[in-house]
C-alpha cells in the first residue's frame, strides 16, 4: 500500500509531497486502473493524556483485578492485563466502519464516551466500582 498525506486548504486537497506523487503517477502505464481510498483522521481534538492515564492507571487495573478475583481464565491461566484490555475494548469501544475504534485513534469525545462505557460496563457486569479520576476536568 502506498500512502500520500494531504491537507485541505480552501476546500482543495493539497498533497504534502507532490513531487513523490507525480513521480509515482508518471511511473504508471497508460490505462492503469486503481482505487484511491481516503482515510480521514479523528474528528475533533485528540484524546488527552489524562484520559489515557485514568484508563491505564485506574480503570484497567481495577477491572483486571476483578476478572482475576472472579476466576476468569484463558486456557486454564488467569486472564492477564492485555487480555483484560481486549475484553474491555470488545465490550466498551465504539464501532466505526465495522471495527472497534482503537484507543490511539479516538478523539477526546470518543475517549470520554469510551471511559463512560467502561465505568458503566464494569459496574453492571462485574459489580466493580471504578474510582473517580483525580482530575475530572482532564478526563471528562
Per residue in 26-69, pLDDT (tens digit) is: 888 999 988 877 666 556 788 899 999 999 999 999 999 999 99
pLDDT, mean of residues 15-29: 86
**Quick check: 4 and 20 in contact, CB under 8 A?**
yes
The pLDDT value given to residue 1? 62
Extract long-range pairs of 96-104: CB within 8 Å, 24+ residues apart: 103/47, 103/52, 103/55
Residue-wise pLDDT tens digits, 101-128: 889 888 899 999 999 999 999 999 999 9
Residue 75, SS3 per DSSP = coil
Q: What is the mean pLDDT of residues 70-84?
A: 95
Task: State pTM to two decimals.
Answer: 0.67
3 versus 46: the higher-pLDDT residue is 46
Nearest C-alpha neighbor of 102 from the set 90, 84, 112, 116: 90
Read out DSSP for 91-131? Answer: HHS-EETTEEPPGGG-BHHHHHHHHHHHHHHHHHHH--PPP
Cell numbers standing for residue 107: 478523539
Amino acid at each position: 500500500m502506498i500512502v500520500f498525506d494531504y491537507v485541505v486548504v480552501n476546500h482543495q486537497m493539497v498533497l504534502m509531497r507532490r513531487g513523490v506523487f507525480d513521480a509515482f503517477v508518471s511511473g504508471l502505464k497508460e490505462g492503469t486502473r486503481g482505487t484511491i481510498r481516503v482515510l480521514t483522521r479523528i474528528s475533533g481534538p485528540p484524546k488527552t493524556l489524562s484520559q489515557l492515564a485514568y484508563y491505564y492507571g485506574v480503570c484497567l487495573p481495577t477491572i483486571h483485578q476483578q476478572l482475576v478475583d472472579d476466576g476468569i481464565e484463558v486456557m486454564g491461566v488467569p486472564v492477564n492485563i492485555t487480555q483484560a484490555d481486549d475484553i474491555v475494548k470488545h465490550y466498551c469501544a465504539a464501532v466505526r466502519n465495522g471495527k472497534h475504534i482503537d484507543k490511539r485513534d479516538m478523539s477526546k469525545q470518543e475517549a470520554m464516551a469510551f471511559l463512560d462505557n467502561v465505568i458503566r460496563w464494569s459496574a453492571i457486569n462485574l459489580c466493580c466500582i471504578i474510582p473517580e479520576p483525580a482530575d475530572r476536568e482532564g478526563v471528562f
